[in-house]
Structure 1
Amino acid sequence: METNITAPPHGGGQPLLHQKGAETQTFGTLKQLPIGLGHDTRMYACQRLNRVLADTQILYSLYKKHHWLMRGATFYSLHLMLDKHAEAQLAIVDALAERIQSLGGVAVGDPRHVVELTSIPRPPDGVEPVPVMLSRLLDAHERILIDARDAAARLSGEGDEGSADLLVSDVIRTGEAQVWFLAEHLVDTPLVHG
């Protein structure tokens, strides 16, 4: 038996470009998922996690910016450390976004939307002295840590242990360790004694 194969419409393997369509889920809404958490708990969790996510995306960007703009005698070690910290923050960004999605929400992803949600002030576009850049990172961390601690406590009280655990295990523990490493670079200790 022979099968008659005809060419598909639109010229075969040609990609269908410039497609448009309506949003299938708007930001700030939930789809129902059978995960054992009520609508209000999941809605609150998504709101809190999206705030932490927006701030963490900004922190990641600050780490990359300062990684590129390091100067001075400690350039090499700071350049490497800031890049390592940025990689850890990027992993947290992914974990937060996936948690929001697993709750049925929509994770903030567009940088222009992130700017609308973040609490971290915008730095100057140019280069700042190294201690100022490090202080800027410490301030961003502190803002995230305060918010993450509050969110973890409230979400745990609501029965969302998964979100609380993510905030404590990833956001808070990683942030605290990174703050320690950054702050030690601001101790006024000479490189050599004369």
Structure 2
Amino acid sequence: MSSMAVKEPKQALEVDRITPQWHQHANPIQKFGTVIKDLPIGLEEEVRLEVTKRLNLLLADTATIRDLYKKSHWQVAGPTFYQLHLLFDKHYEQQAELIDTIAERIQILGGVAVALSADIAELTRLERAPRDREEVPVIITRLLDAHHSILKEVHDFAKKAADLGDDGTNDMLVSDVLRTNELQVWFVSEHLVEMPLIRAK
């Protein structure tokens, strides 16, 4: 009897210890739109605040074009279905990598990266695509318009980052974001060139 009385509380304690404590709430540790004040990376708070704000807009645009590629991958039709189906998915994956690169840069600068789809929809500057299925030339035009908007912003933003002394952001914008989007424009835009398949004109 006495040994049973000792074991029961011990067993109860072990069960409590492994029970998930999932009803937890607390104030956020950092508000969106702020940066950590004292960060030893050689950039002033004002610079990091301005850069992270623009990076979050770029992040929202990049997430939007990523999803536009996946929509296009699913809904494309016609004789070029197979080629475009594969190409759009490859571009989707490349844009997903850019999202991670941009988000990590925001965090490195002490900011908070936008993450949820509802917040991204509020921030993006790209035109929203319809839910409908569209013809291939319209799909490609929509993608090229999105790339054009992003590339214009990146050219301006890269110069601004350089002027502010943020070499890391400048390098990321040029080496990763700009070059990836330029290459994708090339691959996608060639599908709008009217070219005979069987006999030259």
Question: Which TM-score tier does this pair reach, normalised by the shorter chain?
Answer: over 0.9
- Which residue does the alignment assign to 1:38? 44
- Does 2:72 correspond to 1:66? yes
- Which residue does the alignment assign to 1:140? 146
C-alpha separation between the residues in 2 aligned to 1:24 and 1:59? 30
- Does 2:133 correspond to 1:127? yes
Q: TM-score normalised to the size of structure 1?
A: 0.93
C-alpha separation between the residues in 1 aligned to 2:124 and 2:14? 46
Greater radius of gyration (CA): 2
Q: Which has the higher helix share?
A: 2
C-alpha separation between the residues in 2 aligned to 1:50 and 1:187? 34
C-alpha separation between the residues in 2 aligned to 1:190 and 1:19? 64
Q: How does 1:1-194 map to 2 (within 5 A)?
A: 6=10, 8=13, 11-31=16-36, 32-193=38-199
Q: Aligned residues: percent identity? A: 48
**SS of match in other structure, 1:12:** helix
Q: What is the total number of aligned residue pairs between the two structures? A: 191
Q: Unaligned stretches of 5+ in structure 1? A: none
- Which residue does the alignment assign to 2:5? none
Deviation of residue 11 (structure 1)? 2.2
- Which residue does the alignment assign to 2:6? none
Root-mean-square deviation (CA, aligned residues, Å) is 1.8
C-alpha separation between the residues in 1 aligned to 2:15 and 2:124? 44
**SS of match in other structure, 2:18:** coil
C-alpha separation between the residues in 1 aligned to 2:18 and 2:145? 52
Q: TM-score normalised to the size of structure 2?
A: 0.90
C-alpha separation between the residues in 1 aligned to 2:150 and 2:166? 19
C-alpha separation between the residues in 2 aligned to 1:176 and 1:44? 25
Amino acid at match of 2:19: Q
Distance 1:157 1:6, change over 3 A: farther
Deviation of residue 14 (structure 1)? 1.8
C-alpha separation between the residues in 1 aligned to 2:188 and 2:177? 16
C-alpha separation between the residues in 1 aligned to 2:54 and 2:155? 11
Q: In terms of mean alpha carbon deviation, does 15-24 or 35-44 score higher? A: 15-24
Tell me which stretches of 4 or more aligned residues in structure 1 moved more than 2 Å. Answer: 5-12, 190-194
